[in-house]
Amino acid sequence: MTTPPVWSNPLRDPRDRRLPRIAGPSGMVLFGVTGDLSRKKIMPAIYDLANRGLLPPGFSLTGFARRDWADQDFAQIVHDSVKAHARTEFREEVWQQLAEGFRFVPGNFDDDQAFERLRRTIEELDEVRGTGGNHAFYLAIPPGFFADVVGQLQEHGLTEGRGDSWRRVVVEKPFGHDLESARQLNAVLDEVFPSGSIFRIDHYLGKETVQNILALRFANAMFEPIWNANYVDHVQITMAEDVGIGGRAGYYDGIGAARDVIQNHLLQLMALVAMEEPTSFDAESLRIEKQKVLSSVVLPRRLDLTTARGQYAAGWAGGEEVIGFLEEEGIKRTSSTETYAAVTLNVDTRRWAGVPFYLRTGKRLGRRVTEVAVVFKRAPHLPFAASSTEELTQNALVIRVQPDEGVTMRFGSKVPGTQMEIRDVNMDFAYGGAFTESSPEAYERLILDVLLGDPPLFPRHEEVELSWKILDPILEHWAKQDEQRKSKPEQYESGGWGPSSSDAMLARDGRVWRRP
């Protein structure tokens, strides 16, 4: 019998966040190994964690899929994925140690014999690799299969650890397609796993710049005093993509931009921007403050004037001529699925009363960018001639989430010369220029947190349901408009910045969208 690898954790103060946290003995079972998510994100992230020394020597990865593969076939799939998409350099010694823990179990989700083989495989890994009974089940599969897989795991005794060992489940968005389905999905998971063992992945929350929102606000005395309705005019949160739906017609049609992005990514970003200071950065304290924000959101009365939606039409993107959404393969010509969505939300708290939050997302826009822009009110008294400040806009603090992570401050400065002329200037902070170590990929941080059992970055089911309570009335309004044929998604040219109705939405408030 092979002696399991010895895992050791250096003695240190667990409160010292400067030192890396290393996962203890553990393994992961990956359902959906043939999908893009597994090949482009999950498998490369596991290798990068191993390359950085953050996984235990005996870590195991078991694939489960409807394929007639042997262990070495699965290892080749992982190898190719790592070579193509890993962030860190490929090192043969790291790969060999990691590959020794690869296993593959063929079967369908309704195959009892396959789950029995999975149980025996996990027991073998505990003995040979020293995984200690600690296993995370990553469901990189459509939500419609969650109940089948979770039920099989429970039936074959795979959901409960023995003694001090643990079992956890990881699920990807979308967390349902409305409030009712989200509650049903939560009920399926809660029936089998305790709440602390359910990890809902929102990869945006793993990005360094998103986490830096908390550091920016609460570690610096210069920002928090003006982070309120006395000084802030409005907040814009943007996630723009320059690509179309690609080959995702089967998934995207009927889902749309609002369900795909606003319900999770953008509402979570808004919660971090608007929340009160937590008592600590543990999971419970962060959850409480985010929930307060989401439960305080109030929709405007006129949704026809305070929301906008559109579909990209043919145009030019990235120097290439592209087709419109309705011409994409697999999309019905009568589809009312939106590829662009913009909404106006109000946070009904003392801090944010009267400050609108504008959220927008879209495909085939001018460039790929995600940012949070906190736009401040104009100075109450400007002792300058109008001509001196005609090029001066409002001060803004822009947090760039991707692709060039950093923070920009926009403010007015005097132009050199004898005249008192004021223009906008930018003060820029870029992660790449300030730190020698590059930011880890979001899935690295999130997978490591799953293995450590550290849940601060994962939305709980209460947050998911509150988010659907915000979005459902908007989706119902759009559906009613479609049924009554009062309106349909407006066509916008690919490579631009969305439909004119979105610009009109802000113009009614005397504001304009930023052009990143």
Residue 513 has pLDDT above 50, yes or no: yes
* Residue 429 vs residues 180, 284, 402, 409, 440: alpha-carbon distances, Å: 43, 31, 13, 9, 18
At 276 the three-state DSSP class reads coil
Please report the pLDDT score of residue 441 as a whole number: 76
Q: What is the mean pLDDT of residues 49-77?
A: 91
d(CA 31, CA 196): 21
Residues in the chain: 516
Q: What is the mean pLDDT of residues 28-53?
A: 92
**pLDDT one-digit tens code per residue, 108-118:** 999 999 999 99
Please report the pLDDT score of residue 384 as a whole number: 56
Please report the pLDDT score of residue 434 as a whole number: 67
Q: What pairs with residue 344 in β-bridges?
A: 358
56: Cβ contacts below 8 Å, ≥ 6 apart: 5, 7, 22, 23, 24, 25, 26, 130
Please spell the DSSP secondary structure of 404-435, one letter per residue.
S-EEEEEEEEEPSSSS--EEEEEEEEEHHHH-
Please report the pLDDT score of residue 12 as a whole number: 42
* Residue 103 per-residue DSSP state: E
The amino acid present at 394, given as its one-letter code, is: Q
Please report the pLDDT score of residue 425 as a whole number: 72
Contact (Cβ atoms closer than 8 angstroms) between residue 313 and residue 486: no
Residue 92 has pLDDT above 50, yes or no: yes
Residue 17 has pLDDT above 60, yes or no: no
Confidence tier at 8 by pLDDT (50, 70, 90)? very low
d(CA 418, CA 422): 12
**pLDDT one-digit tens code per residue, 307-331:** 999 999 999 987 889 999 999 999 9
Confidence tier at 437 by pLDDT (50, 70, 90)? low
Domain 27-172 has CATH 3.30.1600.10: no
Q: Kindly tell me the sign of the dihedral angle through the C-alpha atoms of 243, 249, 251, 256.
A: positive
State which CATH number among 3.40.50.970, 3.50.50.60, 1.20.200.10, 3.30.360.10 fits the domain covering 206-430+462-507.
3.30.360.10
d(CA 489, CA 57): 53
70: Cβ contacts below 8 Å, ≥ 6 apart: 104
Please report the pLDDT score of residue 387 as a whole number: 54
Please report the pLDDT score of residue 37 as a whole number: 86
Confidence tier at 383 by pLDDT (50, 70, 90)? low
Please report the pLDDT score of residue 112 as a whole number: 93
Please report which helix (H) or strand (E) contains residue 211, including its range. Answer: helix 208-218
d(CA 373, CA 375): 6
Confidence tier at 480 by pLDDT (50, 70, 90)? very high
* Residue 388 vs residues 51, 58, 384, 426: alpha-carbon distances, Å: 56, 67, 6, 18
* Residue 144 vs residues 76, 172, 185, 187: alpha-carbon distances, Å: 29, 12, 9, 13
- Helices marked H in 440-493 — which ranges? 442-452, 461-483
Indicate the pTM of the whole model.
0.87
Q: What is the mean pLDDT of residues 65-78?
A: 88
* Residue 513 per-residue DSSP state: -
Q: Which of 265, 381, 461, 477 is catalytic?
A: 265
**pLDDT one-digit tens code per residue, 176-233:** 889 999 999 889 899 999 888 999 887 767 777 777 888 889 989 999 999 999 999 9
Give the count of alpha carbons within 13 A of 468, CB side only: 19
Give the number of other CB atoms < 10 A from CB of residue 56. Answer: 26
Contact (Cβ atoms closer than 8 angstroms) between residue 233 and residue 203: no
Please report the pLDDT score of residue 68 as a whole number: 84
Contact (Cβ atoms closer than 8 angstroms) between residue 28 and residue 35: no
Question: Residue ranges of the domains in the chain?
Answer: 27-172, 206-430+462-507
d(CA 125, CA 184): 33
Please report the pLDDT score of residue 163 as a whole number: 83
Strands 167-172 and 198-201: parallel
Please report which helix (H) or strand (E) contains residue 398, including its range. Answer: strand 396-402
Confidence tier at 129 by pLDDT (50, 70, 90)? very high
Contact (Cβ atoms closer than 8 angstroms) between residue 363 and residue 257: yes
145: Cβ contacts below 8 Å, ≥ 6 apart: 109, 139
**Would you state the structure tokens that stand for residue 281, as one six-digit string?**
């950065």
d(CA 314, CA 55): 47
Please report the pLDDT score of residue 338 as a whole number: 97
* Residue 216 per-residue DSSP state: H
Known active-site residue 265: yes
Please report the pLDDT score of residue 397 as a whole number: 93
Give every strand in the sheet of 167-172, ordered side by side. Answer: 102-106, 60-65, 27-31, 135-139, 167-172, 198-201
- The terminus-to-terminus CA distance of the chain in angstroms comes to 60
Residue 393 has pLDDT above 80, yes or no: no
Phi-psi category of residue 319: left, alpha or beta, with phi > 0 → left and psi -120 to 50 → alpha: left
Please report the pLDDT score of residue 494 as a whole number: 96
Contact (Cβ atoms closer than 8 angstroms) between residue 226 and residue 232: yes
Confidence tier at 392 by pLDDT (50, 70, 90)? low
**pLDDT one-digit tens code per residue, 357-380:** 999 999 999 999 999 999 999 877
Confidence tier at 275 by pLDDT (50, 70, 90)? very high
At 334 the three-state DSSP class reads coil
d(CA 345, CA 482): 22
Please report the pLDDT score of residue 282 as a whole number: 80
Residue 344 has pLDDT above 50, yes or no: yes
* Residue 96 per-residue DSSP state: H
Strands 297-298 and 340-347: antiparallel
